[in-house]
Amino acid sequence: MRLNQFVKTAMVAAVAAVAFSSAVAADITGAGATFPYPIYSKWAESYKAATGTGLNYQSIGSGGGIKQIKAKTVDFGASDMPLKEEELEAEGLLQFPAIMGGVVPIVNLDGITPGQLKMTPEVLANIYLGKITKWNDARITALNPGAKLTDSDITVVHRSDGSGTTFLWTDFLSKTNADFKEGVGAGTAVKWPAGVGGKGNEGVAANVQRIKGSIGYVEYAYAKKNKMSHTQLKNRDGQFVQPDDETFKAAAAGADWAKTPGMGVILTNQAGKSSWPITGASFILLHKSQASAERAKEVLKFFDWSYKNGGAMASDLDYVAMPAPVVKLVQDAWKANVKDASGKAIW
């Protein structure tokens, strides 16, 4: 009888171990952009509660995400800089947009409240080129009469890692300032003339919080979460606008996702009176040919669920959910491109 009980106990333990192992195996892995990390975390929490499947997402920057998906060490990669068609083809990757949001300048200045300070592309470029070094520079005070701006030094904070947020920031400044385009250029990692580096949006936000008189750039959710002072920004139509989901939507209004290779639309410096000029989409990278059809299907199920159920969560964090016609394009791309080792469609 004791032996039978022992056997029963052992069997129960074995079943539990298998169940635990299956649950762990079902969890999907992703890595890359820090820009969408707050919303991916929120989606993952809700998705696990609804389905039991977890997501382990490493917020390591777009450059790291691209490297990891190419090396096949994660189920999907994430990048805020869309890959070009040639690179996607060479690596056998499918790219699709998951969410949209905005990059904002943030400052640490006594007496300056969130959204108070006005900035232009010209002033931002000259700050990041090291040509404007004091907060009471005439080019800043002319934009902000009455603001308490002293002769304190400006400390520039930028990303130290390969970053899609940096790509959006430098792409915008390159489009609007010839000196910046020539001297620094656009990219996920650039040679900065001056400043202090921080890893991830988290690192930049932490440095700006720590250093008085500093300026940096982060995804808007990080600025809101940390109660940091973002600035207004002059857009392509000459209007000073505040960042929020409505101004991000305005920037994305004219995007042609269907005709852009890899759906890699870049939303910086878009026309429109209410457009936020540093808006961007964050993209998912997935291998078209999958050794594990089940894991690939879990990735697609996660994003399908997020498209259908994650809109309100996105708005709460001031992201912009992908419009229904774009979601349809994405799902059509899944059906046409993501296949198992035998060539059979997974979705």
Q: Which helix (H) or strand (E) holds 22?
A: helix 2-26
Mean of the pLDDT values across residues 276-296? 96
Decide the pairing of beta strands 339-340 and 289-290: parallel
Q: Which helix (H) or strand (E) holds 232?
A: strand 232-234
Classify 342 as helix, strand or coil.
coil
Asked if 2-101+283-340 and 103-263 have one fold, the answer is yes
Dig out the tokens for 178 from the structure.
């010839």
Round to whole Å and give the CA distance between 207 and 197: 8
pLDDT digits (tens, 9 = 90+) for 316-344: 999 999 999 999 999 999 999 999 999 99
Give the pLDDT score at 26. 66
Q: Which residue has the higher pLDDT, 194 or 144?
A: 144
Round to whole Å and give the CA distance between 300 and 315: 22
DSSP 181-203: HHHT-SSSS---SS-EEESHHHH
Kindly state the percentage of the chain with pLDDT values over 70: 93
Give the pLDDT score at 8. 43
Round to whole Å and give the CA distance between 192 and 195: 7
Q: What is the fold, at CATH topology level, of the domain defined by 2-101+283-340? A: D-Maltodextrin-Binding Protein; domain 2 (3.40.190)
Tokens 């083809």 belong to which residue? 89
Kindly state the percentage of the chain with pLDDT values over 90: 89
List of E strands, the chain: 28-32, 55-59, 76-79, 93-107, 118-119, 155-159, 196-198, 214-219, 229-230, 232-234, 240-241, 279-287, 289-290, 339-340
The dihedral over CA atoms of 162, 168, 174, 175, expressed in degrees to the nearest 10, equals 160
Residue 317's CB is within 10 A of a number of other CB atoms, namely: 19
Domain boundaries, the chain: 2-101+283-340, 103-263
pLDDT digits (tens, 9 = 90+) for 227-268: 999 999 999 999 999 999 999 999 999 899 999 999 999 999
Q: What is the fold, at CATH topology level, of the domain defined by 103-263? A: D-Maltodextrin-Binding Protein; domain 2 (3.40.190)
Does residue 279 register a pLDDT over 60?
A: yes
Can you name the residues that pair with 215 across neighbouring β-strands?
Answer: 107, 156
